[in-house]
Structure 1
Amino acid sequence: MIENSELAIGIDLGTTNSAIAVWRDGKPELIPNALGSYLTPSVVSIDERGQVLIGDAARSRLITRPQETAAAFKRFLGTEKTYQLGKTRYTPTELCALILRSLKDDAEAYLGTSIKQVVISVPAYFSDQQRKQIHQAAELAGLIAVRLINEPTAACLAYSLHETHERRFLVFDLGGGTFDVTVVEHQDGFVDVRASAGDNQLGGEDFTRQLAEYVIDQLKVNPSDLSLNDMAKIVSACETAKKQNNSDFTISLADPFNRSFSLTPFQLEEIWKSTLLRLSQPLRRALSDARISTEEIDELIFVGGATRLRQVQQLATRLIGRFGQNTLDPDLVVAMGAATQAACRLRDKAVEEIVLTDVCPFSLGIAANRDGQTDVFSPIIERNTVIPTSRVERFNTAYDQQTKVRIALYQGERFWARENIFISDFEIEVPANHAGAEAIDVRFSYDINGLLEVDVTILSTNTTIQKVIDRTPVGMSDEDKRASHERLAKLKSHPRDKLPNIALTEKLNRLYEEKLAHERQMVEQLILHFTQALESQHEQTINHARKNIEQQLKMWGFH
């Protein structure tokens, strides 16, 4: 079989179902599996002969042979959980690799050529460790994940294809095991991610689980008294009822129970109350981080099979104040977007004008001292900052005659550094002096590929120590590192050093010298406002402030 590295392949590795697509003839094309279906259940089983079963064949065994079948294992990436299937124990990474290999085999049979490089989608809120394991799974499957794209971003890419007018999306992505909310703007060929928030332990599986708990309670049996087979039958019946999503909601149990339970919409709301409540918090945080209101959302897009639930759609509609759309299949749109990103990567002519930006989903910072307290997390790049980016913060020595400073890097949102995810640390030497006398600038520069450069400058000696932390899951080639380094180097000038900002700053200073009394006070307020914008180091904030100030000066007739 001939290998074709120029094929743009995108994969949606889902908790419940997975899909694969190829970019051909100017659009994403879904690839069917051996059974002719575009969706492959993310289920693995081992039969009596030790043969591995994937997809539909394995899903059937969730009821007949649950002890030899694994599902929803993507939820446990980044944990120590393992699965005993037959005589072998598997990690979630290895099980994901089996799904990816099955998708690879289906694609190669369909395309008549071997594939190697792929773009794989992941939940926006996946940690670095979880992303690393996705890369490892791809490698085990004989693939190279050249890019991981966040699932909501992939969906927006699919929806934005061939669009020309400006729109602001809110992507409500509820899959089998994860939930993401992402605010995205489409403008002039730019797909600009404004903010993401989510919950990696919330999805359609939780709705099924709560139904199963209700049924077990109605049967008045102790869950520990149920065999694996009987429990599997209850879960399967609940899953079947959930997918029907009818107003007449009935859970039908076969032998040995032979019972049916009919539920009203009100009863379903009560059963799912806690899970539905958990959906609202990430949504509010994404809007808050994006600094927009629900009225500013143009379109609500549903992604993921669990968004088909009437109760989920009603909740999202109520919170956003508009009806959602799913003109593209919620189960398949992410795979289509991943293939679109693969086409962008290969610079296909049909998508050459699309520019995709993304955000850093977690805050990155260091452990610092605050008011006598040690180990306080001090963010330098805050969550939902558009990447690539470069930010600097100033710190001071903590005690008299201090000669060494430990720079400890963390990722997360917790107040105490130790409660966040540790990344790396290193020590620098500083001149001995009294507490607080030595100032240290710590600059983080973060590349879209995951390359983090840390520049620590000791102001008294003007000495800079640089540490490059390759946070890409499989590492980068020397050539890629050089390219990333060049991109980051361009970001490391403070925005006030950029020509338009220098020009406005000097103009304001001149006007302050020229004017008197009330007019001088007016200019003073503009200087304070622009200084605050510059200190934010946020390009969009600075550009917005500069335009407003220039308009204000023009309106006042100040030249």
Structure 2
Amino acid sequence: MDFGTRNSAVAVLEAGKVRPVPNAQGAQTTPSLVSLTAEGDVLVGTAAGRQALANPAHTPRAAKLELGTGWRVTRGDVRLTAEDAAGLILARLRQDAEAHLGRPLTAAVLAVPAGFRRDQRAALLRAGERAGLPVMRLINEPSAVAMAYRLHRDDCTVLIVDLGAGTLDVSLVDLGDGTVLAWATAGDSRLGGDDWDRRIVEHLTDRVRLRHGVDLTGDATAAQRLREAAEAAKIELSAVRTTTLRLPYLATGPDGPVHLEEELTREEFETLTRDLLERCRAHVERILADAERTPADIDRVVLTGGAARMPAVGDLIRRLTGGREPHRGLIPGAVAGGAALQAGIMTGDVKDVLLLDLTPHSIGIETVEGTTTELIERNTTIPTKRSEVFTTHTDHQSAVVLHVVEGEGEDPARDRTLAVLELALPPAPRGVPRIEVTADCDPNDILHITAEDLGTGNKAVATVDQATMERAAALLRSSRWPGLRALAPATLPDS
């Protein structure tokens, strides 16, 4: 299943072949929307999309990007979190798949943006379980694309760029000998086609303000109409050099109705969004550096995701890969199809294929020296388990406090806090206790942390999710934190 920012899709494996699953309306994608009506009903998917213009304030977009946060939408007595919304959308996808198959699902694989944090992954996993899905695995979206592409090619190194409505994923993958081996992956879970649309909306909003003296800020209906027009213009500018946006009766100004008619050229559009394209460039360059590869090592390039159709994206990738022509044939259904293949591997229906996926973020522990000691390096193949032994830095230290962080810097203050564990210790001279900290990333890249006093066997454990991160963040903001931070572990002299 591909739970997308704007649209979602399902594919199934039948008789060894991947087939897209139509929804109840016969479409191969379903809007990733929920909507709260004035009557207290919750609409999901296509039904929610039909009245998004009339009910924009209670038809939130991009709930996927809010997984793992405190985001919610409320109307009357009905309140939905991002996890609730995701669960409802995934339940609709499950119903469509089961109606297509004529039987309950036996296995499901959910695709997830490579750049998703661990709390976001845990939230999506819970949403899938809440939707009644037999979730066997989370798979990084570019790895799912690689699985789908493997049906067409073998024995090559592939650069995969997946630019969807809300997220960017980039991976460098080797295909061959029955394996799909990801060498490096990077992503931005806040960069996608919606950001290109938003630039057009901002441009049009400024034009209305200058020409008519009308501020559209806060006008939900006008904003929804502008977003839809901006998306249509973006799509049209992928085929033509100039488009005209027409929105009659967009608002009411001092002189009466405001009618918008604005011409936009592809050159103007690319100027408005040049910095967004540069963010794409940075991720491609980063994974090449991480994998210690050059553009000459790339055999093929795959572009997928609806926003990847923009000509500027293809031009950028050609420049970064020495002129290689991107393959766009997988754009419809690539992620869902690859996830279906992975489900087939796990159930034994697909033989002699192995996916070796990656963890996209490094994991470390803050030490008393004020730096981060890395336990798991980014782009490590998962599942993986790594351990490091620490000690104390003061005599008779009563406890050790372990601040677990995610990120690439040596300064823990610049990294993302995942968890804080406190482990009681018996009195001992400094440097004598041995505290083993183990970071265990499971196949879904869900992180489990264990701290053990090797002298007594006492343990403290945590599985990273939204609740763990919220508790840790609250602790870091509290007046207790300076004292607790002083109990951070020390590295061993020979480590």
Indicate the TM-score class for this superposition, using the shorter chain for normalisation.
0.7 to 0.9
Shift of 1:274: 2.0
| Counterpart for residue 264 of structure 1 | 265
| Contact residue 121 and residue 335 of structure 1 kept, 8 A | yes
CA offsets 1:91-132 (integer angstroms, 9 cap, x no match): 111111221122122222222122364211111111121112
Name which of 20, 23, 47 aligns with 1:57.
47
Instruction: Identify which range, 30-39 or 245-254, moves more after superposition.
Output: 245-254
**Unaligned runs of at least 5 residues, structure 1:** 1-10, 475-534, 537-559
| CA distance in 2: counterparts of 1:473 and 1:297, whole angstroms | 38
| CA distance in 2: counterparts of 1:77 and 1:444, whole angstroms | 23
Residues 90 and 334 (structure 1 numbering): CA distance in 2 closer, same or farther, change over 3 Å? same
Amino acid in the other structure paired with 2:10: I
| Contact residue 233 and residue 253 of structure 1 kept, 8 A | no
| Contact residue 116 and residue 142 of structure 1 kept, 8 A | no
Determine if the alignment matches structure 1 residue 423 to structure 2 residue 419: yes
| Counterpart for residue 77 of structure 1 | 67
Residues 235 and 286 (structure 1 numbering): CA distance in 2 closer, same or farther, change over 3 Å? same
Amino acid in the other structure paired with 2:411: W
| Counterpart for residue 432 of structure 1 | 428
CA offsets 1:41-62 (integer angstroms, 9 cap, x no match): 1122244554443333322322
| Counterpart for residue 304 of structure 2 | 303
Determine if the alignment matches structure 1 residue 210 to structure 2 residue 209: no
Residues 45 and 128 (structure 1 numbering): CA distance in 2 closer, same or farther, change over 3 Å? same
Residues 269 and 57 (structure 1 numbering): CA distance in 2 closer, same or farther, change over 3 Å? same
| CA distance in 1: counterparts of 2:292 and 2:43, whole angstroms | 47
Amino acid in the other structure paired with 1:353: D
Residues 402 and 98 (structure 1 numbering): CA distance in 2 closer, same or farther, change over 3 Å? closer
| Contact residue 423 and residue 460 of structure 2 kept, 8 A | no
| CA distance in 1: counterparts of 2:110 and 2:438, whole angstroms | 31
TM-score of the superposition, structure 2-length normalised? 0.83
| CA distance in 2: counterparts of 1:259 and 1:122, whole angstroms | 38
| Contact residue 457 and residue 465 of structure 1 kept, 8 A | yes
Shift of 1:457: 7.4
Amino acid in the other structure paired with 1:154: A
Amino acid in the other structure paired with 1:381: I
Instruction: Identify which range, 47-56 or 105-114, moves more after superposition.
Output: 47-56
Alignment of 1:273-284 (within 5 A): 273-284=274-285
Determine if the alignment matches structure 1 residue 383 to structure 2 residue 382: no
Count of residues paired in the alignment: 454
Higher relative contact order, chain-length normalized (CA < 8 Å, sep 6+): 2
| Counterpart for residue 228 of structure 1 | 220
| Counterpart for residue 531 of structure 1 | none
Shift of 1:239: 1.0
Shift of 1:430: 7.2
| Counterpart for residue 177 of structure 1 | 166
Shift of 1:395: 4.2
Shift of 1:264: 2.7
Q: Answer with 1 or 2: which has the greater Rg.
A: 1
| Counterpart for residue 153 of structure 1 | 143
CA offsets 1:227-261 (integer angstroms, 9 cap, x no match): 22122111111111112222333242222143332
| Contact residue 405 and residue 429 of structure 1 kept, 8 A | yes
The structure with the largest helix share of the pair is 1
| Contact residue 345 and residue 351 of structure 2 kept, 8 A | yes
Determine if the alignment matches structure 1 residue 411 to structure 2 residue 381: no
| CA distance in 2: counterparts of 1:167 and 1:85, whole angstroms | 52
Residues 243 and 60 (structure 1 numbering): CA distance in 2 closer, same or farther, change over 3 Å? farther
Shift of 1:273: 1.5
Alignment of 1:343-422 (within 5 A): 343-348=344-349, 351-370=350-369, 374=370, 376-393=371-388, 395-400=390-395, 402=397, 404-418=399-413, 419-422=415-418
Shift of 1:302: 1.0
| CA distance in 1: counterparts of 2:116 and 2:230, whole angstroms | 28
Alignment of 1:29-44 (within 5 A): 29-44=19-34
Shift of 1:276: 1.4
Residues 467 and 250 (structure 1 numbering): CA distance in 2 closer, same or farther, change over 3 Å? same
Residues 81 and 467 (structure 1 numbering): CA distance in 2 closer, same or farther, change over 3 Å? closer
| Counterpart for residue 323 of structure 1 | 325
| Contact residue 410 and residue 424 of structure 1 kept, 8 A | no
Shift of 1:431: 7.2
| Contact residue 365 and residue 404 of structure 2 kept, 8 A | yes
Instruction: Identify which range, 148-157 or 386-395, moves more after superposition.
Output: 386-395
Instruction: Identify which range, 13-22 or 400-409, moves more after superposition.
Output: 400-409
Instruction: Identify which range, 390-399 or 151-160, moves more after superposition.
Output: 390-399
| CA distance in 2: counterparts of 1:337 and 1:432, whole angstroms | 54
Shift of 1:25: 1.5
Shift of 1:394: 5.2
Shift of 1:204: 0.7
Shift of 1:88: 2.2
**Unaligned runs of at least 5 residues, structure 2:** 250-257, 468-493
Amino acid in the other structure paired with 2:377: E
Instruction: Identify which range, 13-22 or 95-104, moves more after superposition.
Output: 95-104
| Contact residue 44 and residue 88 of structure 2 kept, 8 A | yes
Amino acid in the other structure paired with 1:293: T
Name which of 224, 230, 233 aligns with 1:241.
233
Instruction: Identify which range, 170-179 or 259-268, moves more after superposition.
Output: 259-268
Instruction: Identify which range, 447-456 or 120-129, moves more after superposition.
Output: 447-456
Amino acid in the other structure paired with 1:417: P
Shift of 1:190: 1.0
Residues 320 and 347 (structure 1 numbering): CA distance in 2 closer, same or farther, change over 3 Å? same
Instruction: Give SS of 2:52's match.
Output: helix
| Contact residue 45 and residue 85 of structure 1 kept, 8 A | no
Identity of aligned residues (%): 35
CA offsets 1:419-438 (integer angstroms, 9 cap, x no match): 4223241426477346x577
Shift of 1:446: 3.7
CA offsets 1:73-99 (integer angstroms, 9 cap, x no match): 211112222123565232111111221
Residues 12 and 223 (structure 1 numbering): CA distance in 2 closer, same or farther, change over 3 Å? farther
Residues 433 and 53 (structure 1 numbering): CA distance in 2 closer, same or farther, change over 3 Å? closer
Amino acid in the other structure paired with 2:202: E
Determine if the alignment matches structure 1 residue 129 to structure 2 residue 130: no
Shift of 1:305: 0.8
Amino acid in the other structure paired with 2:232: T
| CA distance in 2: counterparts of 1:451 and 1:78, whole angstroms | 14
| Counterpart for residue 555 of structure 1 | none
Query: CA RMSD, aligned part only?
Result: 2.8
Residues 407 and 65 (structure 1 numbering): CA distance in 2 closer, same or farther, change over 3 Å? closer
Shift of 1:385: 1.1
Residues 470 and 86 (structure 1 numbering): CA distance in 2 closer, same or farther, change over 3 Å? closer
Determine if the alignment matches structure 1 residue 250 to structure 2 residue 243: yes
Amino acid in the other structure paired with 1:18: S
